[in-house]
């Protein structure tokens, strides 16, 4: 694969990952609530789901989802419902600090991994976007598997790096939200963002 093609793909991947979405919201919310160390498990879940999307695109399933209104709508509303549920759950959280109620120690890495996986896995916009732009960088005359491996690995690394960036930015504000009143404000802010992300996803079109 020519370097110029690859670097162009990197630029597109950065824009794709930087676009505010559910992944960024859940990364920041988790970082502010549990700290950066715990958030790495969530980011791993996000990337695992993205890997599944990439495999689906390479196998041609992404094109099927993009062309099937039924599949797209079913996954879209399931994802939107999940995000709205996360938002309502966040709104209903108490104003206790995680350190005060043992929440940090009780929350396992596996549960955060599952949350990250579900957030990305139930987002059809991700796989449709990948199905639309990934094949444009594939040379039909060259082995497809090697190209998909390179491009897929690049996508995962770029997205992971961006999510870690969101995590670190939110982590710097964690000290500020160190009082019950500010914890409650944080819960309401991120609860609203989750619900908003769910509503945006629910209004998404296959051609968007």
Question: What pLDDT is recorded for position 179?
Answer: 58
Residue 30: inside a domain, yes or no?
yes
At residue 100 the predicted structure's pLDDT band, cuts being 50, 70 and 90, is very low
C-alpha span between 138 and 116 (Å, rounded): 29
pLDDT in tens, 117-138: 998 888 777 777 787 777 778 8
At residue 88 the predicted structure's pLDDT band, cuts being 50, 70 and 90, is confident
- Which of 123, 191, 151 is CA-nearest to residue 54? 151
C-alpha span between 38 and 108 (Å, rounded): 8
C-alpha span between 192 and 90 (Å, rounded): 9
Question: What pLDDT is recorded for position 144?
Answer: 81
Domain count of the fold of the chain? 1
Residue 183: inside a domain, yes or no?
yes
Question: What pLDDT is recorded for position 29?
Answer: 87
Q: Give the structural domain span for 169.
A: 22-202
At residue 153 the predicted structure's pLDDT band, cuts being 50, 70 and 90, is very high
Question: What pLDDT is recorded for position 94?
Answer: 64
This prediction has a pTM of 0.76
Of all residues in the chain, the percent with pLDDT exceeding 70 is 77
Residue 14: inside a domain, yes or no?
no
pLDDT at 49 over 50: yes
Residue 170: inside a domain, yes or no?
yes
Residue 11: inside a domain, yes or no?
no
């Amino acid at each position: 694969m020519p370097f110029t093609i690859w670097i162009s793909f990197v630029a597109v991947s950065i824009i794709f990952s930087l676009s505010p979405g559910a992944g960024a919201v859940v990364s920041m919310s988790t970082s502010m609530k549990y700290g950066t160390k715990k958030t790495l498990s969530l980011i791993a879940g996000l990337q695992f789901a993205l890997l599944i999307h990439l495999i689906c695109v390479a196998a041609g399933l992404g094109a099927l989802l993009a062309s099937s209104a039924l599949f797209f709508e079913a996954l879209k509303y399931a994802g939107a419902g999940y995000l709205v549920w996360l938002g309502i759950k966040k709104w209903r959280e108490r104003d206790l600090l995680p350190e005060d109620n043992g929440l940090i120690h009780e929350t396992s890495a596996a549960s955060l991994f599952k949350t990250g996986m579900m957030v990305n896995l139930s987002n059809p916009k991700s796989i449709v976007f990948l199905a639309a732009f990934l094949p444009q960088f594939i040379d039909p005359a060259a082995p497809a598997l090697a190209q998909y491996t390179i491009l897929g690995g690049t996508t995962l690394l770029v997205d992971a790096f961006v999510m870690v960036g969101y995590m670190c930015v939110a982590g710097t504000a964690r000290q500020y939200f160190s009082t019950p009143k500010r914890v409650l404000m944080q819960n309401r802010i991120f609860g609203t963002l989750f619900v908003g992300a769910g509503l945006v996803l629910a209004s998404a079109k296959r051609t968007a």
